[in-house]
Amino acid sequence: MALRSLDNALPITPERPKRQTKVAVSIPKLSEPSANDENRFPSAPIADATIDYISSENLKPISDPESNIQSLNDGMDSKDWTKVCESLNNARRFALFHPSLLLPNLEKVVMILVKAIKNPRSAICKTSLMASSDIFKAFGDNLLEFTDFDAFNQLLLQLLLKASQDKRFVCEEADRALHAMVGSMKPLPLLHKLQSCVGHANLRVRAKAAISISHCVSKMGLEGMNEFGFVPLLHIAVDSLNDRLPEAREAARSVVMSVHEAFMESEDKGEESWESFCHSNLAPIHAQAIVKLISSQEYPSLGH
């Protein structure tokens, strides 16, 4: 009789623990992908632990590169993710040691990089970001010449998106790729590419774009700023000057300081003052903000 009583009780007592188990399981499934899609597949982190992330300094030339270049694209298109990572590392080796062989396939490689960066598996994503850095360093402005408009823009957008994510090692790798991009390309054509990104709906993407723009502007010098135009540069800056993230605002201030310095060195300004220039070319509220910003830098006590 005791056993029957216990059996009859079983359907009643498990109800509360059963609901608690469902709640516990649902939390990581909902929170992890929303923060970062790299963790979408639970098995990925375990498998990714077997991948070696090789620094550029430790990569070696490819033996018989002429023969191996033919199989490079096939490897990057493989359904076996370990082969994809291996091929991405080979693409890095071609870029660093055999760039002339990779150049004719550069646009296809860039599109494969875009696809790999979007891959939810962490190993593929990080390896493709490392490959992007090496390709920027190897080809620089040739990326704009040998890839079409859309291919480069897609790569740029994916780098900004990954640099804006929460997963630290992905974010840092994307930041390195953006840094390599700015460091290896002429600032003027790159600035035209980055210009549209400061209006992106994602505030983190806007901030990352603003940071890259500020690095471009700091490289331009007076001649480059004259060619792009002081006024368009200030318009880019005011878009980020009141943005929500402090990184975007700091980048915008850096752009304003660079433009002001170049303006003061320019012989074309004649007798026009900085204040007059700003009020002549910007909306009153923006002109006032920029004049105040420069004044606070020149006379720090006025900023208090």
Residues 249-266 have pLDDT tens digits of 999 999 999 999 999 998
Query: What is the model's pTM?
Result: 0.80
CA angle 147, 153, 157 (to 5 degrees): 140
CA 289 from chain centre, in angstroms, equals 29
What is the C-alpha separation between 252 and 198, in angstroms, rounded? 10
Cβ atoms of 120 and 41 closer than 8 Å: yes
**Predicted confidence (pLDDT) per residue in 10-49, tens digit:** 444 444 444 444 433 333 333 333 334 433 333 334 344 4
- The yes-or-no verdict on residue 149 having pLDDT over 60 is yes
User: Domain 48-185 maps to which CATH number in 3.10.20.30, 3.30.930.10, 1.10.287.3510, 1.25.10.10?
Assistant: 1.25.10.10
Q: What are phi and psi of 245, to 5 degrees?
A: -90, 135
What is the C-alpha separation between 126 and 169, in angstroms, rounded? 8
Cβ atoms of 106 and 147 closer than 8 Å: yes
**Predicted confidence (pLDDT) per residue in 160-211, tens digit:** 999 999 889 999 999 999 999 999 999 999 999 999 899 999 999 999 999 9
What is the C-alpha separation between 135 and 31, in angstroms, rounded? 34
Cβ atoms of 236 and 213 closer than 8 Å: yes
The residues, any chain, with a CB within 8 Å of residue 96's CB and separated by 6 or more, are: 56, 59, 134, 137, 138
pLDDT average, residue stretch 65-90: 88
